[in-house]
């Protein structure tokens, strides 16, 4: 199985900050990666697919990038509604696998 | 508007069975692959399984943790997805989400999700 290692597991940030979350794949997954946002008690919401393509309706403050097997989600100008848990998921091969999640909390 | 509504969750004893349903509306269900994803209390997301569409012979894929115990199926005439769960274990306790998989330009995204159904396995 492809392992997805996400870091950090949590971070504290202030409104207006820029935050970066990293996901590392245990093998080459090309750009077959999705980023999700999940708020407490809610279903996940797809933000980015193909490592860097914004899902329809997602603001451009969210961006994704890839360097080899390392993937990054960047959130610019953090707003109160952005405080949530973020997950990566690879879809290069079955079984599909998620990272462990990064909880973004208010400092 | 795309809607996915799960039902059938509840409390079941270890070793028991349960069947979840996911009713879809607002899109052409038969065109889409459909997934089940679960989340244990206070934990992260875990992909459970996938049903491909008719064009791909309704074939399925499973996570190792549920293979041989869980079965994903669908009824396109009813716009419904199912998850039959047998030989349930306490570690299967989770909220189970159904999600629509959309294919675009060689890439997949789970772009719509249901609200989830809670399955609790306990004696």
Which parts of chain B have pLDDT scores under 50? none
- Taking CA–CA distances from B118, the nearest residue in chain A reads A41
Average pLDDT of the residues in A73-83: 96
In the prediction, which pLDDT does B108 show? 85
User: Which of B62, B107, B116 has the CB atom closest to A49's CB atom?
Assistant: B107
Are A89 and A96 contacting, i.e. CB atoms less than 8 angstroms apart? yes
| Higher local confidence (pLDDT), A106 or B74 | B74
Residue A107 pLDDT > 90 = no
Average pLDDT of the residues in A42-47: 96
In the prediction, which pLDDT does A92 show? 95
Q: How far apart (Å, rounded) are the C-alpha atoms in residues B21 and A104?
A: 32
Q: How far apart (Å, rounded) are the C-alpha atoms in residues A74 and A62?
A: 6
B47 to A87: CB separation less than 8 angstroms, yes or no: no
Share of chain A above pLDDT 90, in %: 97
Instruction: Give contacts of B 59-118 with A, CB under 8 A.
Output: 61-64, 97, 99, 104-111, 113-116
Query: Measured between beta carbons, which residues in chain A are less than 8 angstroms from residue B105?
Result: 50
Please say whether the dihedral angle defined by the alpha carbons of residues A77, A88, A37 and A59, taken in this order, is positive or negative.
Answer: positive
Compute φ and ψ for A63, nearest 5 degrees. Answer: -145, 155
């Amino acid at each position: 199985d492809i392992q997805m290692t996400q870091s950090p597991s949590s971070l504290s940030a202030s409104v207006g900050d820029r935050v970066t979350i990293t996901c590392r794949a245990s093998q080459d997954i090309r750009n077959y990666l999705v980023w999700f946002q999940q708020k407490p008690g809610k279903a996940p919401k797809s933000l980015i697919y193909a490592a860097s393509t914004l899902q329809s309706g997602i603001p451009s403050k969210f961006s994704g990038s890839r360097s080899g097997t390392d993937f990054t989600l960047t959130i610019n100008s953090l707003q109160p509604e952005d405080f949530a848990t973020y997950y990566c998921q690879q879809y290069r091969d079955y079984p599909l696998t998620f990272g462990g999640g990064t909880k973004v909390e208010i400092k | 508007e795309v809607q996915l509504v799960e039902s059938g969750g509840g409390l079941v004893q270890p070793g028991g069975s349960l069947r979840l349903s996911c009713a879809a509306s607002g899109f052409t269900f038969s065109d889409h692959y459909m997934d089940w994803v679960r989340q244990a209390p206070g934990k992260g997301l875990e992909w459970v399984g996938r049903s491909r569409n008719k064009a791909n012979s309704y074939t399925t894929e499973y996570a190792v943790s549920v293979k041989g115990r869980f079965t994903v199926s669908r009824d396109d005439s009813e716009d419904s997805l199912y998850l039959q769960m047998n030989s349930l274990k306490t570690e299967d306790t989770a909220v189970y989400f159904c999600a629509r998989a959309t294919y675009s330009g060689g890439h997949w995204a789970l772009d719509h999700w249901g609200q989830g159904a809670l399955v609790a396995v306990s004696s």
